[in-house]
Amino acid sequence: MADFVIEELRTLLVTMGIGAALAVVYDIFRIARRVVRHNTFAVSGEDILFWIAAGFATYYFFLFINDGKFRLYMVAGIILGIFVCRMTVSRIFVPFLSRIFRKIKEFIIKLLKKIIKSFKIKSLFKKRGHNKTRGGKIEKK
């Protein structure tokens, strides 16, 4: 094969990797949204920030990989990488990791509630046992 064909095939594979990486980063946002509820404004803001960062990253890679030359097959490679990642890896890992992080979140919330409850109980006992206005002891009448 001619060297330029091998180079373009390598470039296509790299752009597919870039597309897969962008899909994985977006999957992190999807997992976070499943674990912690987001309102529409927060989701929109996250999406805007993601696409701005993805645009800069893609531009940088186009500049780095192909000396800034824009080729349609590079865009197709990114789209194909995103599609392949979403149809394979994302279908398995997003629900799996979402469940794990939800369980961790629930455990942390239960632990914090127990800690707060124990502090409230301890503070109630401290208030009953001491009279701060009379030297720290309760006087009997």
- Give tens-digit pLDDT for 106-139: 999 999 888 888 777 766 666 555 555 555 555 5
CA dist 5 and 22 (Å) reads 26
Q: If you average pLDDT over residues 35-43, what whole number do you get?
A: 90
- Are the beta carbons of 18 and 58 closer than 8 angstroms? yes
Q: Please report how the helices 3-35 and 72-87 are oriented relative to each other, as an axis angle in degrees rounded to 10.
A: 40
What pTM, to 2 d.p., does this model score?
0.73
pLDDT confidence of residue 133: 54
pLDDT confidence of residue 89: 92
Joined tokens for residue 121: 């109980």
Convert the pLDDT of each residue in 63-101 to its tens digit: 887 777 778 888 999 999 999 999 999 999 999 999 999
What is the chain's length? Answer: 141
pLDDT confidence of residue 68: 77
Residue in 29, 23, 28 with CA at minimum distance from that of residue 81: 23
Residue ranges of domains in the chain: 3-104
User: Can you say whether residue 69 is alpha, beta or left, with left for phi > 0 and alpha for psi between -120 and 50 degrees?
Assistant: beta
pLDDT confidence of residue 63: 86
Q: Among the listed ranges 3-7, 55-59, 93-97, which one has the minimum average pLDDT value?
A: 3-7
